[in-house]
Amino acid sequence: MKEVNVIKNGRVLTPFKTIEKGVVVFEGEKIVAVGRENEVRTPKSAKIIDASDGVVAPGFIDIHVHGGKGRDVMDASYEAINELSKFFATHGNTAFVATTISASRSELLKVAKAVRLAMEKGTDGAEVLGIHMEGPYMSPDERGAHAADQIRPPSLEEFQEIWEASNRAVRMVTLAPEWAGSEKFIENLRSLGVVASVGHSNATYSQVVDAIQHGLRHASHTFHRMRGFHHREPGVVGAVLVHDELTAELICDNVHVHPTAMKLLVKAKGANRVVLITDAIRAVGMPNGEYKVGKATVIVKNGVSRSAVGELAGSTLTMDRAVRNMVKSVGLPLQTAIKMAATNPATTLGIDKVKGSVKPGKDADIVIIDEEVNVYMTIVKGRVVYAT
């Protein structure tokens, strides 16, 4: 018999509807019932979790995150990924996609194997969903903190090797579609069910439109490190804003993107196509100081991470703060901000049948927060992995 748990006394944001004094019942890894207290039958033997008037919501899914608490995906070890998994759970994540940076083939293969191991063994906090390869197939003009000597054109052969080493766990690739050969590369990703995302790109508007026709479906950290908008050459930003085929990531830390640009993105894409991400690096949850991003050193001061030449280099954002910023800086209802942090990432990855909302049949990936988005409890597949 699987253990039955009941969350009571919370405001449930599914997030498609709000249920005051809602009840969520989960059995083992799965949610089995959601409703009002008088509607849902709860077995006598069930374990009760009192949400104490908090908000019960689907757990956050960060599809673009490099590190935290002194660790980085590029450390390429089970231990680092497991520590990240625990740390992210304290900020309300129930899942994340381990994001790489531009590096040599051998380094990327090491990461692929470490992520594979973490997925096979399981981790103690947020679930590892796979790999987001940020580069190395990006534009030298828009590389930001990525090492110039690690950037190269897309290679089907290299990707195939990483794909196999990870046991087919690559979920997303951020690339610059202006590279020759990218059309074939994007088509290959699409056939494998991997999301092709435009990012770190100096492509023209029409180059992005071409790439959409070949299967491009997403944009990495919109506005940041992509050809900006001009009314005669709308660039990557113009294509992202206008084309519904693309979902759009947003680093909503109030530093990478001005709140007005955040509002513009929400207006253009609507509540269903904006995906909150952190792009966080190992300095998150650590004091100010110097940290490594790949081989480069970044300096973190007052929570802002910059390279030696002063360029923004990753963030120190967490998903709970991202949701809070969307409420405070952009003026969204909490329900909508949660949708952008939980439901939309699941839709983007094509896993919304099992994740991203509080509904019977879905994984019991649940976060209990207050109205200010302080995290009280994180439940991953029915297991309480964090509680205050």
Q: Residues with catalytic annotation?
A: 279
Say whether 306 sits in a helix, a strand or coil: strand
Own/partner long-range contacts of 326-330 (Cβ < 8 Å, ≥24 apart): 326/252, 326/262, 326/276, 327/373, 329/252, 329/254, 329/259, 329/262, 330/252, 330/259, 330/262, 330/263, 330/266
User: What are 154's two structure tokens?
Assistant: 């897309």
In 10 A of CB 81, how many CB atoms? 24
Q: In what order do the strands lie in the sheet with 93-100?
A: 60-65, 93-100, 127-134, 170-175, 195-198, 218-219, 247-251, 274-277
List, as one string, the DSSP characters of 318-339. Answer: -HHHHHHHHHHTT---HHHHHI
Instruction: Give the DSSP H/E element, type plus range, for residue 121.
Output: helix 105-121
Which ranges in 301-388 belong to alpha helices (H)?
Answer: 319-328, 334-338, 344-349
What is the rounded radius of gyration, in angstroms, for the C-alpha atoms of the chain? Answer: 20
CA dihedral angle for residue 140, residue 146, residue 149, residue 150, rounded to 10 degrees: -100
CA distance 247 to 217: 7
Supply 156's token pair.
């089907």
C-alpha distances out from residue 20 to 13, 119, 145, 219, 378, Å: 9, 36, 46, 35, 20
Whether residue 247 contacts residue 273, with contact meaning beta carbons closer than 8 Å, is answered with yes
283 within 8 A of 298, measured Cβ to Cβ = yes
